[in-house]
Structure 1
Amino acid sequence: MTRASVLIPIHDKPTTLPLTVDTVLRQSVEDVEVLLIGDGVTDDVRSVAVALTADDERVRFLDFPKGPHHGERYRHDAVGEARSDAIFYLCDDDLLLPDHVADLLGLLEEHSFVQSLNGEVRPDGSIRFYAADLGDPDVVAMHLRDDIRFCSVSITGTAHTRRLYDAVGDRWDTTPTGWWPDHWQFRKLMRHPSYSGATSPRMTALQFPTSSDGRDTWTDEARVQELRPWHALVVAPDAQDEIDRRCEAGRREQLVEERATIALLQRDLAWLRGEHERLGDDMTWLRDKYDESQRHLEWLTTQHAVQGRHHAAALATIEQLRAKVAHKNEVIARLRAKRR
């Protein structure tokens, strides 16, 4: 019986794919299968994929035409084709340590969605982490927020049960603009009432993300040159011990970096507080000026009303004088007429 199905989406990375698949086939759990999910693959990738299936019957190649975005819809078809109820994921330029499947299968005995300690390998060889525990409700809540993009899950290093996937019923599909495919899909699983998450304390999957550190400009040969020494390390007898050691060193370095970042943020926060106080003083001054202007406006309004009343009275007086003058003129005119 197949204990784990490892799904690997492929498109245009022929040089790294053999190294990636080799680390799956070297798992301490031997009864695994590899499903290569072709998304309009190049001729070179197809040639590599066919050769891999010929070399080991545990490898299968699902050769789909190019689909929307990264062909996420085909991953649903691959889940349906999988012979195991434990669904694992892996990128075509990443590597698994020998106990990766065993570690996560152990977690899947009591949980429905699990991952290796998540992080990435930088081109300088250092390791950095996407620190999070998928068993922490607060971490899950952060993943489910729409106003931020908090993500500590990746295609590589993640596994879930078929039961959870089927229960959700919302299949892998094209990712909306502005979202990462793994984040968008795995959020669906996290929302389900039967979700139960866990993160391994060990990093058993090594990620070399194309989207970071300028790797998107590297040639295929440059990518495989980076992976070869890491592949040699992964297949060595003491691989996990060495990765654990490097992870510990990476934690210390990242802690120093984060402390420095916190210090800078605290400095900026102090400056912002000062600006806030200054703006508060300015606001108080503006309020005083506003109140003074309001009082002056009220005085002017009163003066305007008084002047209006005086103006009206003056107009009335003028009209009265005009009437008197007109009456006197009439009397004078009549007297002059009698004299004639």
Structure 2
Amino acid sequence: MSAPLFTIILPTSIDRGLLLPYSIGSVQKQSIQDFELFVIGDGVNEFTREVILELQAQDSRIRFFDFPKHPRRGEENRHQVMQEANGKYIAYLADRDYWLPHHLETLALYLQNHDFASTLNYDVKEDYLIYGHKNLDSYDAASWLLSCVGHSLEMYKKLPYGWRTTPKHLYTDRYMWSQFIDFPECRSYCGLEPTVLWIKRGDHPGLSTQERKEVLIKWIKIMEDRALFQLKKDHALHEMMWDYNFLHRNHPILIKGRTPDKVPAEIWKKIKNLLSPR
């Protein structure tokens, strides 16, 4: 049997069994079906375990790795599971998020010429979508969401550590992605194609698992109405363009494409132009 194109890593924990049929369902609807899916349990409860085992029985591409609760996010368990990956590429999915059908297809295009890449997400609100934040200037790892990221297995094996326990004052994903971004041989790419519905947890304690399930069901129904979903996507683009136009109409002293040493002179030039007679 030939190796799959993708190995998908889906970490989950405790009571997320209500969400998994939807997040895993989004994997099963991908335009690229050449994958294996590794569900990594981090102290799941019995209900969640039963849900995973039932999904596994229905799809031979799913494998379940059942670990006890880790002090942090089970990072070493992810590294251990990664040793069994067969895919050329690795993709990640949070158990509360939802991939649009072209997610893996988009990642595969990015990873043809890069070792580490990210798509963009839609930030899901109650009745509308907005584009997710991406720091394009510094490849800020904090803006590279787990469900958007992919990388080659070959590059992962070259990293100094791989997944490892995250210090308490740092974010798990940021700590991992920084290894790719800082690695001299790694070619990183920050893509802008939206392929993920990101269900934000919210402020502590955040949405309950049942509430997240209701959000997922609502947006799956919206996506099934292609005309309605297109309007939601257009609205997100309208909002972004409105912000862009507002910024450029109301900030005449914007400096772009200038090195820091040239900024003062450029500011003075713009001020003189603003004050000069028309």
Q: 1:126 aligns with which of 125, 129, 132?
A: 129
| Equivalent residue number for residue 153 of structure 1 | 144
155-164 or 236-245, which moves further after superposition? 236-245
Higher strand share: 2
Is contact 2:131–2:237 with CA below 8 Å preserved after alignment?
no
Secondary structure, in 3 states, of the residue corresponding to 2:25?
A: helix
Does the Cα contact within 8 Å between 2:134 and 2:144 map onto a contact in 1? no
Residue 105, structure 1, aligned to residue 108, structure 2: yes
Say which SS state the counterpart of residue 114 (structure 1) adopts: strand
Letter in 2 for 1:190: I
| Pair 259,63 (structure 1): closer, same or farther in 2 beyond 3 Å | farther
- Give 1:253 deviation, angstroms: 5.7
The CA RMSD measured in Å over matched residues stands at 2.7
One-letter identity of the residue aligned with 2:210: E
Amino acid at match of 2:234: R
| 1:147-296 alignment runs, 5 A limit | 151-210=142-201, 212=202, 214=203, 216-234=205-223, 241=230, 244-252=233-241, 255=244
Q: Quick check: 1:18 aligned with 2:9? A: no
The residue identity in structure 2 corresponding to 1:139 is: S
Counterparts in 2 of 1:58 and 1:219: CA distance versus 1, 3 Å: same
Q: What is the letter of the counterpart of residue 138 of structure 2?
A: V
**In structure 2, distance between residues paired with 1:116 and 1:77:** 26
Distance 1:238 1:70, change over 3 A: farther
1:86 aligns with: 89
Structure 1 residues 126 and 239: CA distance shift in structure 2, 3 A: closer
Residue type of the partner of 1:197? Answer: S
Distance 1:215 1:123 in 2: 18
Could you report, residue by residue, the CA deviation over 1:142-181 in whole angstroms, capped at 9, with x for unpaired residues? x3xxxxxx72111111001111111113120111122111
Aligned CA distance change for structure 1 residues 78 and 236 (closer, same or farther; 3 Å): farther
Which of 12, 31, 35 is matched with 1:32 structurally? 35
Q: How many angstroms apart in 1 are the aligned matches of 2:233 and 2:191?
A: 12
Partner in structure 2 of residue 50 of structure 1 = 53
- Per the alignment, residue 139 of structure 1 pairs with 138
Partner of 1:146: none
Taking structure 1 as reference, are residues 170 and 43 closer, same or farther at Cα in structure 2, changes over 3 Å only?
A: same
Measure, in 2, the Cα distance between the counterparts of 1:262 and 1:178. 36
Where does residue 324 of structure 1 map in the other structure? none
Quick one: distance in 1 between partners of 2:250 and 2:73? 35
Partner of 1:3: 5
Contact 1:126–1:250, Cα closer than 8 Å, also in 2:
no
Contact conserved, 1:20 with 1:95, CA < 8 A, in 2? yes
CA deviation vs aligned residue, 1:121-140 (integer Å, no higher than 9, x gap): 2334332421233xxxx413
Highest CA radius of gyration, 1 or 2? 1
- Residues 239 and 161 of structure 1: CA distance in aligned 2, closer, same or farther (over 3 Å): farther
- CA shift in 2, pair 1:121/1:111, >3 Å: same
Measured against aligned partners, the alpha-carbon deviations of 1:290-327 in whole angstroms (never above 9, x if no partner) come to xxxxxxxxxxxxxxxxxxxxxxxxxxxxxxxxxxxxxx
Instruction: Using the TM superposition, give the Cα deviation of residue 251 of structure 1 relative to its aligned residue in structure 2, in angstroms.
Output: 1.4
Report Cα offsets for 1:214-255 as digits up to 9, x if no partner: 473433221111111222344666798556424313414655
TM-score (norm 2): 0.80
Range 186-195 or range 73-82, more displaced: 73-82
Amino acid at match of 2:207: W
- Give the direction of change, closer, same or farther, for the CA distance of 1:102–1:76 in structure 2 (3 Å limit): same
When residues 218 and 26 of structure 1 are mapped into structure 2, their CA distance, relative to the original with a 3 A threshold, is same
Count of residue pairs the alignment pairs up: 249
Three-state SS of the structure 2 residue aligned to 1:116 is strand
Matched, 1:64 2:81: no
Compared CA separation, residues 73 and 53, structure 1 to 2 (3 A) = same
TM-score (norm 1): 0.67
Q: Structure 1 residue 197: deviation in Å?
A: 1.5
